[in-house]
């Protein structure tokens, strides 16, 4: 995964977070999310931010699906 695609995911999570905080329901990752899902959105953003730090530090390991 490239740095740019990770940044795009972070941006998507930030947009979802802002929308939910302003009282909107949004469709995100194929489901409707609202204020009750804020902690899930923030956890997802944190995961992508961690991946970004791993890429920046060179410790990002590629995920292999079996």
pTM: 0.80
The full set of domain ranges for the chain reads 3-57
| Window from 4-13, 27-36, 40-49 with minimum mean pLDDT | 27-36
pLDDT digits (tens, 9 = 90+) for 8-18: 999 999 999 99
Task: Quickly count: other Cβ atoms within 10 Å of residue 47's Cβ.
Answer: 13
Backbone CA torsion sign across 2, 65, 30, 54: negative
Which tokens belong to 11? 């941006």
């Amino acid at each position: 995964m490239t740095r740019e695609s990770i940044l795009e995911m972070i941006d998507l999570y930030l947009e979802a977070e802002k929308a939910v905080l302003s009282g909107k329901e949004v469709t995100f990752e194929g489901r409707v999310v609202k204020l009750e899902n804020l902690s899930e959105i923030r956890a997802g953003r944190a995961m992508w931010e961690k991946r970004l730090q791993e890429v920046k530090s060179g410790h990002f390991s590629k995920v292999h699906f079996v």
